[in-house]
Structure 1
Amino acid sequence: MHSEQVLAFLDEHPELLAQLAARYGLQPAPQNGDRVVVSFAERQLLELKDRNRQLEAQLQQLIERGHDNDRLLARLHRLTLAQLAARGAKERIAALKRALAEEFQLDRVALKLWHPAAEGDDEHYNARNEVQGLARNLNAPYCGPYVNDEVMGWFPAKPVLQSFAQVALRGADGQAFGILVLASDDAQRFTFDMHTQYLAQIGELASAALLSALEAA
């Protein structure tokens, strides 16, 4: 007997479906606004299935977040190795910029220093009070769409930059001797509400590497 014949037979004898409903786990649709009565056990089972789906979705999010953190830690590790491999301050600045571009796709990076040993570096030395005051006020990395005119002038006019991260470089005594600024034309790259833990770690790494090189000069 073909499936079409079976369906035609059931259309002619719909009472068979009601008789066989319990055997095959069928439940008729409500008619004329009648409510379907679900047993307490069945309702609990449905609630458990829904809760399990929610937990599975949350677990998948945690797994994906863990993978993201693993990739980020691997990038930070490679950045650290690059700093250790470089020797002088200029070499470490170049290694930092290269690692930020290769590992984090950040090729718009500005770094300014006012340590006395950096005076010979025309590209990176900047002892203006405005710049030093900016770094002193950065108790934590700043992320958002705003920078002052001084900082904006450190970057080319094109493309138009939409978001920035500003990180103070400090010595063991807490005194700022430089500032690191990351910029992007993506307005969502650095936002007010983003976590800054890894930015702070990059700042601490750059501070330690550069200060040791500057003091050894």
Structure 2
Amino acid sequence: MTSNVSTMNDDSIADYLRQHPEFFERHAELLSTVQLSSGHGGRAVSLQERQAEMLRDKIKGMEQRIMEMVRNSSDNASIAHKIHRWSCALAKVQDPRQLPHTVSEGIQREFEVPQVAVRVWDVAGPYQGGMYTMGVSDDAKSFATSLTMPFCGPNLGFEPTSWLSKPSEVQSLALLTLREGPNDSAAPAFGLLVLGSPDPLRFDATMGTEFLARIAEHASAALGRLRITPGN
């Protein structure tokens, strides 16, 4: 007669124990006599001790995830507050000619971005000739319109990088399109916001862009005033 032992394996044993939890009630002594390798140092421990270790590790992992969630929540709240403060500063600007400077200076101050540049095109007559309207090729305008979301990545020599004060020092950058319609990636671009940093990881291709998109929307709303002739 073939022994049943030969057909037993890890899965069948585990299956049996799941289906017969009373096994440990009938053999309670096993809980203290079975020796397992500890997950901390390799020493031999009882089954009960091993279970306690696994439970502690699980609780520790949950605590770490909770702390990470708290940190992320705090960081997000801080960024949201900075965007709000920056937006309030934009709303206070009375002379539209000061808006490009207020946009870029505010981003540098609030978000600690080393270099910021802004360019707008198709502006109304009174605002033509400003530095913020110069040096933009048709290719750059087409490129801005083609971006459906903020670009983050290494300095690849894009034309907009040359608008920054020290382009040779830029290792990573973010390009934010200014559009006529908020939340509409198909709307024509009328400008581009450039954020540059000497830190190659500051604007990484894998980073989230939600807050950058919010910045682009606020900047678009403010700088849109340059496209409207006063009195109209």
TM-score, shorter chain, exceeding 0.5? yes
Does 2:209 match 1:196? yes
Partner residue, 1:120:
128
Give secondary structure in 2 for the equivalent of 1:153. helix
Distance 2:124 2:191 in 1: 12
**Correspondence list, 1:135-214, <5 A:** 135-148=144-157, 150-157=159-166, 160-172=169-181, 174-214=187-227
Unaligned runs of 5+ in 2: 1-36, 38-42
- State the shift of 1:216 in Å: 4.5
CA contact (8 A) 1:97 1:107 kept: no
- State the shift of 1:153 in Å: 2.3
**Correspondence list, 1:64-75, <5 A:** 64-75=71-82
TM-score normalized with structure 2 length: 0.71
Q: 2:107 aligns with which of 100, 103, 106?
A: 100
CA contact (8 A) 2:115 2:197 kept: yes
Distance 2:147 2:122 in 1: 18
Distance 2:209 2:197 in 1: 16
**Correspondence list, 1:46-61, <5 A:** 46-61=53-68
CA contact (8 A) 2:124 2:226 kept: no
Unaligned runs of 5+ in 1: 1-29
Partner residue, 2:139:
130
Tell me: CA distance 1:124–1:147, structure 2 relative to 1, closer, same or farther (3 Å).
farther
* 1:84-124 deviation line (CA, Å, top 9, x unaligned): 11123322222212211211112411111112316523301
Give secondary structure in 2 for the equivalent of 1:178. strand
Distance 1:36 1:184 in 2: 53
Count of residues paired in the alignment: 183
Over the aligned positions, Cα root-mean-square deviation in angstroms equals 2.2
Give secondary structure in 2 for the equivalent of 1:195. coil
Percent sequence identity is 30
Distance 1:78 1:37 in 2: 57
Tell me: CA distance 1:193–1:160, structure 2 relative to 1, closer, same or farther (3 Å).
same
Distance 1:113 1:46 in 2: 61
- Which amino acid is the alignment partner of residue 52 of structure 2? L
- State the shift of 1:159 in Å: 5.7
CA contact (8 A) 2:123 2:226 kept: no
- Which amino acid is the alignment partner of residue 89 of structure 1? P
- State the shift of 1:147 in Å: 4.2
Distance 1:113 1:36 in 2: 70
- State the shift of 1:71 in Å: 0.8
Tell me: CA distance 1:199–1:77, structure 2 relative to 1, closer, same or farther (3 Å).
same
Distance 2:155 2:170 in 1: 10
Distance 2:229 2:208 in 1: 34
Moved more, 137-146 or 127-136: 127-136
Tell me: CA distance 1:136–1:36, structure 2 relative to 1, closer, same or farther (3 Å).
closer
CA contact (8 A) 1:88 1:214 kept: no
